[in-house]
Structure 1
Amino acid sequence: MNILNFGTESADSDVRDPNRISTGDPEQLAYFSAVNGITEQQARELIRKHGGNLAVLVKEARKLRGLE
């Protein structure tokens, strides 16, 4: 078990890219939207428009909130 994974054995087989977000993962989408102060619908729209790259999505979420 990887010491950086605090989950179960199934967490060891999780191959998701930590730098990408998917609309197919409701927990990931909810967390991203909460952390970035946008709605889940806004997050879905950003992913559709800009892809799943986390850095790009954070930048676009900041623009939505008027921070950039």
Structure 2
Amino acid sequence: MSDDKSKRGPADAQRINVHETYEVRYWTEALGVSEARLREVVAEVGVMADDVRRALRKH
């Protein structure tokens, strides 16, 4: 089953999928970070949104 690209938010609100443009757009706006920073933090702590939020608060 394929993703519905017309959706603006993430398919799974607990995970950040940096391989989908619409999800990257959503998360960069929701977290107030650049795409590069989002990808960097996801690479460091994984795809769980709570872990990414925690890491962003630390810095």
**Gap runs ≥5 in structure 1:** 1-9
Q: Does 1:50 align with 2:45?
A: yes
Would you say how many aligned residue pairs link Structure 1 and Structure 2?
Answer: 51
Query: What TM-score, normalized by structure 1, do the two folds share?
Result: 0.62
1:33 CA displacement: 1.1
1:37 CA displacement: 1.3
1:63 CA displacement: 2.9
Superposition misfits of 4+ residues, deviation over 3 angstroms: none
C-alpha contact (below 8 Å) 1:33/1:43 kept by paired residues: yes
- Of all paired residues, the percent bearing the same amino acid is 22
C-alpha contact (below 8 Å) 1:19/1:55 kept by paired residues: yes
Quick check: which has more Rg, 1 or 2? 1
